[in-house]
Amino acid sequence: MIGVDTPETVDPNTPDECFGAQASERAERLLAGESVRLATDPTQDLRDRYGRLLVYVYTDDGANYALETIRQGYGVEYTFDEAYQLQQEFRAAERQASSSRSGLWSADTCDGNADLPVVSEEAVEYTQTLYVNAAAVDPSFKSANFRAAPSQQADLVGEVSNGEQVRTASSTVSGAGGDRFYPARYGGSEGYILATLLSEYPPGEAEPAPPARGGCDPAYPGICIESSPPDLDCKDVPQHADFVVKDPDPHRFDGDNDGRGCESN
């Protein structure tokens, strides 16, 4: 369909995109077995590079299916190359959906970012216990927000006070704006807590100091970095950004495998 892009759910090589299941269910419900009218656009090729017919789809009531899909927040406006005849109308529909926080624009769903991971509640395993330690981020913080989606704008499920324990997944997920969140369970509810507000240790209890060790790991020949454990992050060696890394890279400083560590810092 010309002018619309909906979240991906059928590509076996990529994870399902946020709100993709809802968009697919809507298409199935409204189009399967129904008669539609197809219309081409003289500004566009008849077929795309994959041989697919490029058309507008009109339902029995005369509605442009792609336009309504965008207006209701099940997809976004998409221009492949050349502007199409209804481009401005489609873009206005996207602005309307965004301003009304409809569908994938809602903070409770994707917050406008379909690349957010789809986390199935059934698939989440809460395998570790962490402590709320929001005061470590800001001394004035007394609690952590417990939200319905991985976004700081998502609806509140509740607040969890400093020192309280929560069960979380073993790893974080990326949320809106690049923030990292832990899928968490607390008080019988499930939601998300900003990762920086959680700690392995309760407030006031210092993390045990690692035992003193000497020597430099040969994986980092131009800089003296001790071997793992404990694992170090690039923030632990900010003054030495962009250094040579050799296998086996125990601290995983070379994320893109180009032989240099922390070069993006």
Does 91 fall in a domain? yes
Same domain, 219 and 184: no
Q: How many separate domains does the chain show? A: 3
**Torsion (CA) 59, 61, 64, 70 in degrees, nearest 10:** -100
211, 206, 235, 210: which is closest to 131 by C-alpha?
Answer: 206
Q: Give the domain range for residue 140.
A: 128-199
Same domain, 73 and 96: yes
CATH number for 156:
2.30.30.40
Residue 239: predicted pLDDT: 59
Contact by Cβ (8 Å): 145, 133: no
Does 236 fall in a domain? yes
Does 111 fall in a domain? no
Residue 130: predicted pLDDT: 94
Same domain, 41 and 65: yes
Residue 44: predicted pLDDT: 96
- Separation between Cα atoms, residue 72 and residue 23, nearest integer Å: 10
Please give the full DSSP string across 80-120, using - where no structure is assigned: -SSPPTTHHHHHHHHHHHHHTT-GGGSTTTTTT-TTSB---
Same domain, 155 and 240: no
Does 110 fall in a domain? no
Same domain, 235 and 186: no
Torsion sign (Cα): 32, 38, 40, 41 = negative
Of 199, 224, 239, the last residue of a domain is 199
Same domain, 96 and 32: yes
- Separation between Cα atoms, residue 174 and residue 79, nearest integer Å: 27
Same domain, 220 and 186: no
Of 199, 234, 253, the last residue of a domain is 199
Does 123 fall in a domain? no
Same domain, 140 and 60: no
Same domain, 96 and 57: yes
**Total length of the chain:** 265
Interior angle at CA 206, CA 203 and CA 210, nearest 5: 150
Does 251 fall in a domain? yes
- Separation between Cα atoms, residue 136 and residue 127, nearest integer Å: 23
Residue 166: predicted pLDDT: 94
Same domain, 30 and 55: yes
Does 116 fall in a domain? no
- One digit per residue, pLDDT tens: the chain, 265 residues? 999 999 887 766 666 788 888 898 899 889 999 999 999 999 999 999 889 999 999 999 999 999 999 999 999 999 998 999 999 999 999 999 999 999 999 887 888 887 776 655 456 788 899 999 999 889 999 999 998 888 887 888 899 999 999 999 988 887 766 788 999 988 888 889 999 999 988 887 755 554 444 568 888 777 778 777 777 878 777 556 677 888 888 888 787 777 778 876 5
Does 19 fall in a domain? yes
Listed as own residue / partner, the contacts of 257-264 with beta carbons closer than 8 Å and 24 or more positions apart are: 261/220, 261/234, 262/234, 262/237
Same domain, 29 and 90: yes
- Separation between Cα atoms, residue 208 and residue 222, nearest integer Å: 29
Of 164, 199, 234, the last residue of a domain is 199
Give Cα separations from 57 to 68, 146, 177 (angstroms).
11, 42, 34
Same domain, 14 and 68: yes
Q: Where are the alpha helices (DSSP H) in the chain?
A: 20-31, 65-71, 87-99
